[in-house]
Amino acid sequence: MLELGKSGTHGLPKGVLPVLRDDQVVATMRSATWTEAATVSVDGSTWEYARRKRELTGRRSGDPEGTARLRARQTSAWKGTWEIDVEGATVEVRPASRWKGTHRFLLHGRQVAESGTSPGWTPRATITVDGELPVAQQVFLLWWEHVIRRRVAAAAGAA
């Protein structure tokens, strides 16, 4: 299970979120405060995540501006479904529980991951993956879940 840790823990500076697997740091994420963007370090590579028009995208830092290796777009606002293109393969995202705000991630019709939350007063996003996806793609799914949770929280606060 991948879990988004608390900022400034696990020996990281304040403002850097650890991405944890079994309480070990597998990636780091510096998430922007006011925009849907983040800089992520995974397996020695730096990734730039951002919102571009109506899509959430991910590209390696050396890639040309405007390209995307990872791309998420909403296919139905009514059903809450998304499609995430992970370097050639399409992962379908469907709500697992409307009450809990969790999602199922399907690749070729088979579930490869499910989102959840960490226990405690300030729940954080988690992703349970069966190991089929590379770590960089798993971290993108976790960031996607983080962004969706921030959107829901912002909408609830505005109401």
**pLDDT tens-digit series, residues 124-144:** 899 999 878 999 999 999 999
Q: What is the pLDDT of residues 88-123, one digit of tens each?
A: 899 999 999 887 889 999 999 999 999 998 888 888
Q: Is the pTM of this model over 0.85?
A: yes
pLDDT band of 155, cuts 50, 70, 90: confident
Is the Cβ–Cβ distance between 26 and 19 less than 8 Å? yes
Range of lowest pLDDT (44-48, 50-54, 140-144, 153-157):
153-157
